[in-house]
Amino acid sequence: MFVLAFLGKRVLAAAVTLLVTSFLVFSLLAASPGSPEQTLLGARQPTPELIAALRAQHRLDDPFPVRYWHWLSGVLELDFGRSVRSSREVVDILAERLDVTLWLGLYAFVLVLLVAVPAGLSAGIRRDTAWDRGVTVTALLGVSAPPFAVGLMLLSVFGVGLGWFPVFGAGSGFADRISHLTLPAVALAVAGVAIVARQTRAATMDVTAKDFITFAEARGLPRRVVLGRYALRNSALPVITSAGLVLAYSLTGAVLVESTFALPGLGSLLVESVSTKDIPVVQGLALLTAALVIGVNLIVDLCYLGLDPRVRHAGGV
Amino acid sequence: MIVRALSAFALGLVVIAALLGDWIAPFDPGAQDLAGTAMPPDAAHWLGTDELGRDVLSRLIAGTRTALLGPALVALGVAVLSTAIGLLAGYRGGWVDSAIMRAVDLVYAIPPLLVAIVVVGVFGGGYPLAIGVLIALSVPADTRMVRSAVLAQRNLAYVEAARTVGLGRGRILFAHLLPNVLPTVVANLLLSFVGALVGLAALAFLGLGVGTGAPDWGRMLAENKGLVDLNPAAMIGPAVLITVVAASVTLLGDRLYDLMSARGRDAGRA
Amino acid sequence: MWEFLDKAGEAAMRRTRIAAVAATAALVLAGCVGTGAGPTGKRVAGDADIPELTWAMPGAPRSLDIAHALDTRSNLAIFAAFDGLLRMDADGELQPALATSWTNPDPLTYVYKLRQGVTFWDGKPMTAEDVAHSLRRQADPAEAAETQLYLTRLKEVAATGPDEVTVRLTTPDPMFKYVPALVWIVQQKEYAEAAGKSLGSPEKPGMGTGPYRVTRFSPADGVDFERHDGYWDTRPKVAKLAYKPIPDPEALRLAMMSGEVDGTFGVPLQDIRKWERTAGISMYYTRTISVNYLSMDVTTAPFDDVHVRRAIAHSVDRQGLLDPLFGGRARLSSSPVSSLQLETMVGKEKAAEVIGSLPTYPFDLGKAKEELAKSRYAGGFTVEVPYPTTQPWSRLLLENLARNLSTIGVTLVPKAQPDQQWVANIYAHKDLKLQIMRAGGGTPYPGEMLPMMFGQASAGPNGFNTANFADPELEAKLGSLGEDVAPIAEIMRLNAEEVPYVPLFEEDAAHALRAERVFSPDPTPWLAGFNWAIALKAAA
C-alpha cells in the first residue's frame, strides 16, 4: 500500500509538472517578441491566404485558454504543428534528430558508469592514497571544464592529429556509429564522470566507515564480496541521484557538444531553431526535454524504492 | 596540498587581475592593430593577438571582471533567495513548507542552462536576462538543501532550548539556525558560482551572452575558435582560465565546507 | 540579391524579386574569372572514375523543389541532380542545355526548341508538356512558389509542338531571358502532379533528367545521389555523391583534413589563411557579383546630413580590413553596382573608366573629423548597429569602425541579432539608421540591383532601399534603365556624391577541394552555369 501511495504521488507530481511546463512552453509563442503571425510567418511571403491559414491553424482568433486547450490536445496526439523554417511536421523533425541524441546520451551514460563508479569506489576505499588524490583532482578538473572546450581539444588531438576517430557526422550501422560518436560521447561524459566519481567516492567513504563493513571484513569475507554486496549497494542511492543529475546535465551538454561536433541531434536543432525563432520546433523540443527529465526522475525515484528498503517502508510516514 | 596551494595562487592572481586590470594589462584591451592580426605569442604579446590584432592577454585580464562579477551575482542571488526560502520552509513547516516544496519540485530537475538558451535566444535579453534566468532556476536545488539542513537542526536540543527560553522566531532563525546551515549555504554559494561561470561561458559560446566587443572569456573562446591554427593561445587561454577558476573555486568550496562544518560541530559541543 | 539574407534566413528571401535573385545568384559560385585563379600546384584532371565522393555545406537543403528552395544550399543540391532549360557560361552568356536553341521574336515572346531523346531517371522520355508544366506550376498562385518573384510578368507558357515551348509575357522584362537558366528546372509532370505539395520532400524528392538521381534526402543530414547512366550530356566521373551538412566551419575543415569530406563551397574568407596552410587541400577562388556596403537612412537624424555620411565613409579602414576580414581575397568596392557585372556589360576598360571617375572617401580620421564638424551633429552621436550572427566579418568590421569612430566623438554599438530577427527588421523597414548589408544579383546585368536599392518604390516595408534614398531625378534615371550603361553610371555617381550607401568590398568566393580531386572546368561566378557535380574529376 505504501509503495502504491508513494508511486501514485510521484506519478501525479510528474503529471502536474509536465502540465505546468506545457503551459509555459505554449506561452512562448505569445510571449516572444512580435505578433504571433509574424513569428509563425518567419520569412515567408505574407500572402493573405498564408496568414489566414496560419490564423486558422493556430486558432489565433480564439481566446488564449481555448487556444492552449487545442494545442494541448494536438500535442497529446503528437501534433506540435509545423516548422516555420521548413514547413515540415515538428514531430517528424524531432524523430529524425532524436536518434543521434539518444545514442550520444546513452553512450555517454555508459561511459560515466563504467569509469566513474569503479574510480569513485576505489578512491573511496583507498582513502588518502595517491590514487585517491589523483581521482579527486582529475574529477575536479573534469567537473569544471566546459564541454565545448573539451570537445574542441579531443577533436584536434584524436580526430585530426592522431586520426583515430572520425571528426564529423553520426555514422550509420552499429560499429560505424560507435566510432563516430566516441569523441562526442567522451566530451559529454567528462563532467558526468567527474560528478558521479565524486559522489561515489563520498558515499563509499561514508559507508566504509560503517560498522557492518568492518564486521564483514572481520568475518573474513573476500574483498570482492564486501565491495560488491555491501559497499556498492549501500552507496548506490547517492550515486543514482547523481545519475539523474547527469542526465539533466547531458541534455545541456549535448547542446554544446553537438554544436561543436556538428552532429544532427536535438541539441544542435535547439540552437538552430532558437536562432531562427522557429517557435513550433522550440516548443516541441522543450516539451520533449521536460518529459525526458521528468521521466528519468520518476525512474530514479523507483530505483530508490527498489534499492533501499527504508524508503519502501517509510513510504507512508 | 600542492593542488590546494596552486588553486589558491591561481584564484589570487585572477582576483588581483580583476582589481588592478587597467594597471597590469600590457596593452589597451580594445586597441586594434590590423597589420598584426592573429599573431602567435611573442615577447610583446605573450598570448598573441586576435583577429583584429588585439592583445589576447590584456583582453583576458580585462575579462576577469565580467568573468567574476556575473557568476558572483548569480551565486549571491541564489544564496540569499534560497537561504531565505529554505529557512522559511524548513522552520515554518506546514502548508508554507509544502507549497514551497511543490514549487521547488516543479523546477528542480530542469537544467537551467537549457532554459536560459531558450529564453535568452527567443527574447534576446542578453547578459542581464541570462543572469536572471540562471538565478531563478538555480534557487530550487539550493532551497532543498538549505531546507533539509534546517530540518536536521530544527529538532536538536539547542533549538528546542531556545524556543523554551522564549526566544523570538527571528532570533532563533538568524542567531541559531542560520549559523548552523551556513556551511551548506557557503558550499552551495561557491558551487552556484562555478555553475554560473561555466553556464555564462556556454551562453557566450553560443552567442547569447555579453555584448559585441566586450572582452568576455566565453565570447573570446567562441570568437577565437577559428584561430586554432594561427594562434591557438587565443582559444586555449580562455578555456584554461575558465577551467582553472572553476576548479579552484570548487576546491575552495570543499575546503570551506569541511572547515565550517568542523567548527559548527565544535560549537555544537561547547 | 541580399546574400546576407540568404545566408541568414535560408527561407528568408522570398518576398521580393530581388530577394529571389539574390538567393540563387548570391550563391556566387564564381568562376575563375580574371587572373590568378588557380592555386599553385593544382593537378590536372584525369580520366578515372570516382566511386564515392562526399561534399559538405553549412546546411542541408530545405527541399529539392526549386519552387520552395530558393536558397544557396538547396540550389546547389538541385543543380547537381536536375537540369535547367539553359545554362550560363563563365562569361555570363546563355548556353544550351535541355533547350538547344531559343528565339525572342518580339519583346513579349520567347520560343525554346527542346533537345530530343532526353529521358527522366525512370527511363520515360521528356516531353514538351513536362517542360511547360515545370515553369507553369511555379507561376501558379496556389503553389505559392518562392520563384514566383521571377515570374510576375509571365502570362502563359505552353507546349507549342513536340519539341517546342513558347512563353508569353504581359510586359517586356529585360531579365526574363535568364529565367530558363536560373529557375526553369525540369520535373516530370506526372510525378510532380502525383507528389503535389510534397514534391521535393524526403518522400517525393523529384523526377528529373539530370546527371544524378536522388537516392535519399533528409533536411537533417543531406542528400545521397547516384549517377544517372542514361544522362544525355557528359557522363559524370563520380558514381555516388553524398551531400552532407556541417554547420561549423572548423569541423568542416577538420573533416576535409581527415579525408571524410572531399570538398565544399563558400569557405569563410576570414579563415582562408588557415585553409591555405592545410595540407592536402586545394583552394579555388572566383570573383563574385556581390557587394557589401554600409547603408545610412537619409531620412533620419543624424544620417540626414551628408557630412555625417561622409564622415562615416572616411572612418572605414577598408584597406586595413581587407586582409584580416577576407584574407586579401576581396577588392575594395566603389559603387553598389558590381564591377564584374559592369565589366560583363561594357568590357574591362570602360568599366574601369566609369569606376575611376567616381569621388572616393579614403580612410582618414582627420577628414572624418572635419566632415563631422561641418555637419549639424558636430558634437557626435550614438548609434546602435545590428548585424546577423552568421556573418563574422560584419562583427569585425563594426568593431573596427566603432574603435575608429570613438576618436571623432561618435559611439557605435554593434549589436548581434539572431538571423531571423535581423532579416525581419530589414523587411519591416523600421529603425534602419545604419545597417551593414550585402547585395548580390543573379544575372550579369549591372542594373539588376538598382531599382531595389534606390527609389521610392523600394523605400518601404519589404523594399531594400534601406537608405530611403529617393528624388525625382533619380526616379527618371531608374525609369530609363536598359541596355545602355549611361543611367547606371549616373546612379553610381549620385551614390558616390550623396553617400546613402558606403560601398565596402566585393568578396571573392573560395571553394575547397581535396588535392586528389580537381574541378574541370573551373567554377564560374554564375550558379546556374556551373554544373559542379559533372566538373568533379580525379586528379591525374
Query: Does residue A285 surpass a pLDDT of 90?
Result: no
Chain A environment of C420 (Cβ under 8 Å): 42-43, 275-278
Residue among B49, B219, B223, B229 with most chain C CBs within 10 A, to mutate: B229
Residue B195 CA to residue B73 CA, distance in Å, equals 12
Largest Cα span, chain A: 84
- The alpha carbon of residue C83 is apart from the nearest alpha carbon of chain A, in Å, by 24
Return the pLDDT at C1: 35
Cis before C521 (ω within 30) = yes
A152: containing domain: 96-312
- Report the SS3 class of residue C54: strand
Residue among B122, B133, B216 with most chain A CBs within 10 A, to mutate: B122
Residue among C426, C340, C456 nearest C4 (CA): C426
- The alpha carbon of residue B208 is apart from the nearest alpha carbon of chain C, in Å, by 9
Q: Which residues of chain B have pLDDT under 70?
A: 1, 108-109, 125, 228, 261-270
Residue among C39, C27, C64, C53 nearest C536 (CA): C53
Query: Does residue C344 surpass a pLDDT of 80?
Result: yes
The Cα angle at residue C9 between residues A31 and C246, in degrees rounded to 5: 115
Query: Does residue C2 surpass a pLDDT of 70?
Result: no
pLDDT digits (tens, 9 = 90+) for C363-398: 999 999 999 999 999 999 999 999 987 777 899 999
Query: Does residue C41 surpass a pLDDT of 60?
Result: no
Chains that touch C (3 or more CB pairs under 8 A): A, B
pLDDT band at A231 (very low <50, low <70, confident <90, very high): low
Q: Is A193 left (phi over 0), alpha (psi -120 to 50) or beta?
A: alpha
Residue C315 CA to residue C312 CA, distance in Å, equals 5
Return the pLDDT at C510: 93
| Proportion of chain C in helix, strand, coil states, percent, rounded to 5 | 35, 25, 40
Dump strand ranges (E) for C78-191. Answer: 86-88, 94-96, 99-106, 109-114, 154-161, 164-169
Residue with cell 517542360: C131
The b-or-e profile of C292-327 (16+ CB within 10 A means b, else e) is bbbbbbbeeebbbbbbbbbbbbbbbbbebbbbbbbb
- The alpha carbon of residue C59 is apart from the nearest alpha carbon of chain A, in Å, by 10
Higher pLDDT: A213 or C158? It is: C158
Contact assessment for residue B188 and residue B86, using Cβ atoms and an 8 Å cutoff: no
Residue B103 CA to residue B110 CA, distance in Å, equals 12
pLDDT digits (tens, 9 = 90+) for C97-134: 999 999 999 989 999 999 999 999 999 999 999 999 99
Sign of the CA dihedral running C388, C390, C395, C397: negative
Higher pLDDT: A227 or B161? It is: B161
Domain of A265, CATH number, reads 1.10.3720.10
**What's phi and psi for A311, nearest 5 deg?**
-65, -40
pLDDT band at A213 (very low <50, low <70, confident <90, very high): low
- Averaged pLDDT, A259-278: 80
Task: Note whether C274 contacts B226, CB cutoff 8 Å.
Answer: yes
Return the pLDDT at A235: 62
User: Going by DSSP bridges, is the β-strand pair C411-417/C382-388 parallel, antiparallel, or unpaired?
Assistant: parallel
- The alpha carbon of residue A173 is apart from the nearest alpha carbon of chain B, in Å, by 30
Higher pLDDT: C440 or C329? It is: C329
Torsion of CA B231, B233, B236, B239, to 10 degrees: -120
Q: How many domains does chain A have?
A: 1
Q: Please tell me the least confidently modeled range out of C20-29, C213-222, C249-258.
A: C20-29
Contact assessment for residue C505 and residue C332, using Cβ atoms and an 8 Å cutoff: yes
Residue A210 lies in a domain: yes
* Residues shown for chain C: 540
- The alpha carbon of residue B83 is apart from the nearest alpha carbon of chain A, in Å, by 22
- Report the SS3 class of residue C322: helix
pLDDT band at C19 (very low <50, low <70, confident <90, very high): very low
Residue A234 lies in a domain: yes
Query: Does residue A50 surpass a pLDDT of 70?
Result: no
Smallest Cβ distance to C403: which of B32, B211, B229? B32
Smallest Cβ distance to C420: which of A160, A168, A276? A276
Dump strand ranges (E) for C428-470. Answer: 434-440
Query: Does residue A272 surpass a pLDDT of 90?
Result: no
- Report the SS3 class of residue C131: helix
Asked if A156 has any chain C CB less than 8 Å from its own CB, the reply is yes
Nearest CA in chain A to C74: A86
Q: Which amino acid is at C11?
A: A
CATH number belonging to domain B44-269: 1.10.3720.10
* Cα radius of gyration (chain C): 23
Residue A70 lies in a domain: no
Sign of the CA dihedral running C465, C469, C474, C475: positive
The b-or-e profile of C369-382 (16+ CB within 10 A means b, else e) is bbbbeebebbeebe
Nearest CA in chain C to B51: C324
User: Which residues share a beta bridge with C514?
Assistant: C281
Residue C243 CA to residue C143 CA, distance in Å, equals 27
Task: Tell the burial category of C483 from Cβ atoms under 10 Å away from its Cβ (0-12, 13-18, 19+).
Answer: exposed
Residue A63 lies in a domain: no
Higher pLDDT: C222 or A166? It is: C222
* CA distances in angstroms from A1 to A14, A305, A306, A316, C107, listed in the order given: 20, 13, 15, 8, 88
pLDDT band at A239 (very low <50, low <70, confident <90, very high): low
- The alpha carbon of residue B154 is apart from the nearest alpha carbon of chain A, in Å, by 19
> First and final CA of chain B: distance in angstroms?
30
Largest Cα span, chain B: 77
Task: Note whether A160 contacts C254, CB cutoff 8 Å.
Answer: yes
Identify the CATH homologous superfamily for domain C290-508.
Answer: Dipeptide-binding Protein; Domain 3 (3.10.105.10)
Return the pLDDT at A223: 64
Residue A153 lies in a domain: yes
Return the pLDDT at A234: 64
Residue A27 CA to residue C507 CA, distance in Å, equals 43
Residue A57 lies in a domain: no
Residue A310 CA to residue A3 CA, distance in Å, equals 11
Task: Note whether C402 contacts B34, CB cutoff 8 Å.
Answer: no
Chain A environment of C63 (Cβ under 8 Å): 86
Residue C443 CA to residue C448 CA, distance in Å, equals 7
Q: Which amino acid is at B35?
A: A
Task: Note whether B230 contacts C274, CB cutoff 8 Å.
Answer: yes
Number of A–C residue contacts, CB under 8 Å: 104
Q: Please tell me the least confidently modeled range out of A249-253, B58-62, C290-294.
A: A249-253
Query: Does residue C239 surpass a pLDDT of 90?
Result: yes
Q: Residues of chain C with pLDDT > 70: what percent?
A: 91
Residue A157 CA to residue A187 CA, distance in Å, equals 13
pLDDT digits (tens, 9 = 90+) for C401-446: 999 999 999 999 998 876 767 877 787 788 899 999 988 777 888 9
Residue A152 CA to residue B234 CA, distance in Å, equals 13
Task: Tell the burial category of B240 from Cβ atoms under 10 Å away from its Cβ (0-12, 13-18, 19+).
Answer: middle
Residue A316 CA to residue C312 CA, distance in Å, equals 75
Return the pLDDT at B110: 72
Q: Which of A95-104, A268-277, C30-39, C348-357 has the highest mean pLDDT?
A: C348-357
Alpha helices in chain A (DSSP H): 2-31, 36-41, 48-57, 64-76, 90-125, 130-144, 147-154, 174-208, 211-218, 223-225, 233-234, 236-261, 266-275, 279-307, 309-314
Residue among C22, C11, C92 nearest C452 (CA): C22
CB neighbour list of residue B138: distance below 8 Å, 6 or more residues apart: B74, B78, B82, B112, B192, B195, B196
Smallest Cβ distance to A248: which of B106, B109, B243? B109
ipTM entry: 0.79
- Report the SS3 class of residue C513: strand
> First and final CA of chain A: distance in angstroms?
12
User: What pTM was computed for the model?
Assistant: 0.80
Residue among C289, C316, C204 nearest C24 (CA): C289
Return the pLDDT at A266: 86
